[in-house]
Chains A and B, each alone.
Chain A
Amino acid sequence: MFTKITEYEGITEYRLDDNDLKVVLVPQRAAPVVAFMVVYRVGSRNEAVGHTGSTHLLEHMLFKGTPTYNKKNGNQVAAVLQKQGAVFNADTWFDRTRYYEMLPNDQLELAIHLEADRMRNSFIADEDRQSEMTVVRNELERGENDPGRILDERVWAMAFREHPYHHPTIGWRSDVEGVPTSRLKDFYDTYYHPNNSTAIVVGDFDDQTALDLIAKHFGSVPRSPHPIPHMYTVEPPQEGEIRFKLRRSGQLGLIEMAWHIPEARHEDSAALTVLDHVLSAGVTSRLYQALVETQIAVDSGASSFQFVDPGLFTLDVTLTPGVDHETAEKAALEVIERMKTEDVTESELQKAKNIITTQLIFLRDSPFGVVSAIGEAEAVVDWKFYVDLPKMIEGVTAADIKRVANTYFTEDNRTVGYFIPREF
């Protein structure tokens, strides 16, 4: 029924022979709780003009029912999970859509059954799409209330011209409003198959019991009748700095800068992750000391977004009232320039590594923390990326940091957006 693919650092991977569902089992017996997650390798990366936001809207539609679990029967997904006190939801991002449940371990079968059922049996009915579209539109409107979020959306849209990371996962408003139900159904029929997904179980369970339950419920779901389409659009190199200003109602000025970086599986990923922490983790970090401690900014941060395809390294600054954008940008860029010319100190390097590795251990306090981390790793590389992360981080040197700073933090590769509060 299952082929055992590999066992590594206490985690076991199987393949369900009938349909190529990938199964990852992570025992963690501290409490009588399990987390179950199905990750589909489809996200807004698989969308194009006219149907941006479809993957996310489809994710909402998977709560609307199947012939087995539905509102008419009084047993729709949310109600049966809520009854168990489960923590559950689903979300969509560039590279993946994930559905998850954390619940008492005697309810593992319920989670497995629900996910197996809605993988192929969801209604995706037009009347449900109409009412859910306005729910999603309100979700979109909530996001548009937030200046930081609008600025971030614009930065990605400017930095990516051709690749679909250009558009936000929630989609463009008119696409969300206009997409026909048939297009959502196409997405469902194209991507929601066992051979395009990974089922992950974390927590206090017996391996054989979990495998038996997965076989019982997913075993009858056929493999896709067609190959899963390959997304082939490539973002060409950015040839020159992009700059823009956004004026809207708001209280504080914001700056977001971004540089293109490689995909998650690239050898520079670990160095970029350490660099992100040197810049932004804690009071002792470079950006905090240069911007917040000096009262140029009230807040600052950096993030290394590593995806299936090349992503962005972003740096954001919330200005202290009275400080102009140019002054804050200059101070932030000085921090970046120093990363290119000077080695980070040994203690700084070790501190960043320790913060990353202890965070990974803290995560293990909860099965949900682990299932999320493994799910994200599965979405962009595979689950071993999560297991190997501490080793990869440990291997990063001061020279690596300087090298990646010089490689990626160039002017031509940079996008800079200002949010300027509009006066009325």
Chain B
Amino acid sequence: MNTNSFASRTQRYQLDNGIQLLVLENHGNPTVSLYGYFWAGEYFNPQGKDALAGITASMLGKGTTRRSKLEIAESMESRGARAGFSSNMFTTSLSGLSLSKDFPLIVSTLAEELRLPAFPQDELDKMRQRMIASIREDQDETRVRAYERLTQILYPAGSPFHRAPADQLISEIESITIDDIRTFYETYYGTGSMLITVVGDIVPDDVLKLIEQSLGDWQGASPSTIDLPVTPLQSEPMRETISLKDKPNCDVVMGHASRLRRSNPDFIPAIIANRALGHSTLSSRLGMKVRDEMGLTYGINSGFSESGIGDGPFTISVTVAPENIDLVIDTTIEITNDYIAEGITETELADEKSSMGGSFKLSLATNGGMAGRIADSVLFGLGIGYLDEYPSIIAAITKDEVDEAIRKYIHPDVATTVIAGTFE
């Protein structure tokens, strides 16, 4: 094995309680990044409690049975260190960043918050108020409104991709109790599905000792499993308009269910298929026409949102002044249809492969970037060796594979279009 490979440089440990620990030494800067996750994300929200996973993760930072929120914040902020929890669609993640000398503090704080949360009522009340205000603020954003409505049309209620309407979400948040949070915590929080990656100025065996001391004798809930059916492609196009006041700019989002997951064998060809169409406003087909040539927008992008464990939508998003909406939509559909008919050019294919290779190198230039890449390769069942194989996997993709992915995953003919803005 190449001694410079990720597979050889990453130390792997398996604790008795199930925690997988991956450590990569990088002494370039006296800092350490930690990133990890376990299966306790929004997918596991009980019906009618869409915000519960997020609230539970945030409540971990609101004090433990040993120390108040303020005492913990004081100990972290006084050293400029950061640590916390947040919920994602399928996982709850833990993250930390500190100077290497403060790394033990990061681990002990995260462990204390994970194992001994106090879940104080007054903190829930305050958080509820802030969350509701933030939802109301979001409702004033054209981009949020357009995307939110699109997910409601494309995915049934109960799907993790379906974003609940604001009023419903607010009344659910108002009804969540400390008992709900505690039950969610006891059902889903545990070490069985936990992965922790640590990258930075640290010795791997020292990290192992710290994790063993702070989390080695904890088990928590048994790991949960995910059983999510693939959402079928829509059969008809739809169009909806959302009216807001005082918005000189409109957001248009077009999209459909993608059926693309990270586990699909043609995932990489699908990513390349999208990149040439709309990954970059400044150089992809959509941007070159709609922005560079026609001057109709500041930003136009396409992409597979949330194609990972599950299959999120394929979307094309563009910002535009109200008088140009129809022109932008018609042009976008025309460019996309031409692309489907012609396929990717050999030049585009070569450029996108080269671009992915370069951007992969850049993503490994920081401790945080490396920790994220390592965690993802395990999350998606690819293994760390995948990071070493990635450049040759990209190089081997053919035009036929990409053209097939274009035809399989991009369907403007059945896309739903949602437009949010001021129309007078």
Q: A residues engaging B (CB < 8 A)?
A: 28-33, 63, 71, 74, 76, 78-79, 82-87, 102-104, 107, 130-139, 141-142, 144-147, 248-252, 281-284, 292-293, 295, 298-299, 318, 320-321, 347, 350-351, 354-359, 361-362, 364-367, 422, 424
Nearest first, the 5 A-B pairs at minimum CB distance are A85-B358, A30-B28, A358-B80, A131-B295, A85-B359
B122 to chain A, nearest CB (A): 10
Contact across chains for B248 and A145 when beta carbons are under 8 A apart: yes
Contact A321/B351 with A135-B297, A249-B246, A365-B366 known, Cβ cut-off 8 Å: no
How many B residues face the partner with a CB closer than 8 A?
A: 68
Contacts of B65 in A (CB 8 A): none
Contact across chains for B351 and A83 when beta carbons are under 8 A apart: yes
Contacts of B366 in A (CB 8 A): 31, 365-366
Contact across chains for A31 and B365 when beta carbons are under 8 A apart: yes
A141 to B249, CA, bound (A): 5
Contacts of B291 in A (CB 8 A): 135
B35 to chain A, nearest CB (A): 13
Q: B residues engaging A (CB < 8 A)?
A: 26, 28-31, 33, 69-70, 73-74, 77-81, 97-99, 126, 129-130, 132-134, 136-137, 139-142, 244-249, 280, 282-283, 288, 291-299, 319-321, 347, 351, 354-362, 364-368
Contact across chains for B29 and A320 when beta carbons are under 8 A apart: no
Contact partner of B129 (CB less than 8 A), chosen from A78, A107, A298, is A298
Contact across chains for A31 and B129 when beta carbons are under 8 A apart: no
Contact across chains for B29 and A79 when beta carbons are under 8 A apart: no
B197 to chain A, nearest CB (A): 15
A82 to B79, CA, bound (A): 39
Contacts of B142 in A (CB 8 A): 145
Contact A424/B360 with A30-B26, A78-B282, A298-B134 known, Cβ cut-off 8 Å: no
Contact across chains for B297 and A29 when beta carbons are under 8 A apart: no
Contacts of A292 in B (CB 8 A): 130
Contact A82/B26 with A132-B295, A138-B298 known, Cβ cut-off 8 Å: no
Contact across chains for B361 and A283 when beta carbons are under 8 A apart: no
Contact A251/B74 with A85-B362, A131-B295, A295-B126 known, Cβ cut-off 8 Å: no
Contact across chains for B137 and A63 when beta carbons are under 8 A apart: no
Contact partner of A33 (CB less than 8 A), chosen from B33, B295, B362, is B362
Contact across chains for A252 and B133 when beta carbons are under 8 A apart: yes
Contact partner of A284 (CB less than 8 A), chosen from B73, B126, B132, B140, is B73
Residue among A32, A83, A355, A359 facing the most chain B CB atoms (10 A cut-off): A83
A359 to B283, CA, bound (A): 33
Contact across chains for B295 and A281 when beta carbons are under 8 A apart: no
A282 to B129, CA, bound (A): 19
Contact across chains for B73 and A283 when beta carbons are under 8 A apart: yes
Contact partner of B321 (CB less than 8 A), chosen from A83, A103, A138, A357, is A138
Contact across chains for A354 and B78 when beta carbons are under 8 A apart: yes
A131 to B30, CA, bound (A): 47
Contact partner of B355 (CB less than 8 A), chosen from A30, A32, A83, A281, is A83
Give the nearest-CB partner of A143 in chain B. Answer: B249
B125 to chain A, nearest CB (A): 9
Contact A350/B78 with A33-B361, A130-B295, A249-B140 known, Cβ cut-off 8 Å: yes
Contact across chains for A84 and B79 when beta carbons are under 8 A apart: no
Contact across chains for B298 and A249 when beta carbons are under 8 A apart: no
Contact across chains for A82 and B280 when beta carbons are under 8 A apart: yes
Interface residue SS majority, chain B: mixed
Contact across chains for B73 and A282 when beta carbons are under 8 A apart: yes
Contact partner of A29 (CB less than 8 A), chosen from B28, B280, B288, B351, is B28
A103 to B358, CA, bound (A): 7
Contact partner of B79 (CB less than 8 A), chosen from A30, A142, A145, A358, is A358
Contact across chains for A283 and B69 when beta carbons are under 8 A apart: yes
A306 to chain B, nearest CB (A): 21
A350 to B74, CA, bound (A): 12
Give the nearest-CB partner of B279 in chain A. Answer: A82
Give the nearest-CB partner of A139 in chain B. Answer: B298
Contacts of B321 in A (CB 8 A): 137-138, 141
Contact partner of A78 (CB less than 8 A), chosen from B77, B280, B361, B367, is B280
A227 to B246, CA, bound (A): 45
Give the nearest-CB partner of A356 in chain B. Answer: B80
Given contacts A30-B28, A85-B356, A141-B321, 17 further A-B contacts (CB under 8 A): A32-B361, A33-B365, A71-B292, A79-B283, A83-B354, A86-B362, A87-B362, A104-B361, A104-B362, A142-B249, A145-B141, A252-B137, A283-B73, A347-B78, A357-B80, A359-B80, A364-B31
Contact across chains for A281 and B362 when beta carbons are under 8 A apart: no
A84 to B359, CA, bound (A): 7
B355 to chain A, nearest CB (A): 5
Contacts of A424 in B (CB 8 A): 245
Contact across chains for B295 and A133 when beta carbons are under 8 A apart: yes
Contact across chains for A248 and B361 when beta carbons are under 8 A apart: no
B365 to chain A, nearest CB (A): 4
Contact across chains for B28 and A131 when beta carbons are under 8 A apart: no
Contact across chains for B133 and A298 when beta carbons are under 8 A apart: yes
Contacts of A321 in B (CB 8 A): 132-133, 136
Contact partner of B320 (CB less than 8 A), chosen from A82, A138, A293, A359, is A138
Contact partner of B249 (CB less than 8 A), chosen from A83, A102, A138, A361, is A138
B74 to chain A, nearest CB (A): 5
A156 to chain B, nearest CB (A): 20
Contact A320/B319 with A283-B77, A355-B80 known, Cβ cut-off 8 Å: no
Contact A362/B280 with A145-B141, A250-B140 known, Cβ cut-off 8 Å: no
What are 22 A-B residue pairs whose CB atoms fall within 8 Å in the complex? A33-B361, A33-B365, A71-B292, A74-B347, A78-B282, A78-B283, A84-B358, A85-B360, A134-B296, A138-B298, A141-B248, A142-B298, A145-B142, A147-B140, A295-B129, A298-B129, A320-B129, A351-B74, A354-B78, A365-B31, A365-B368, A422-B246
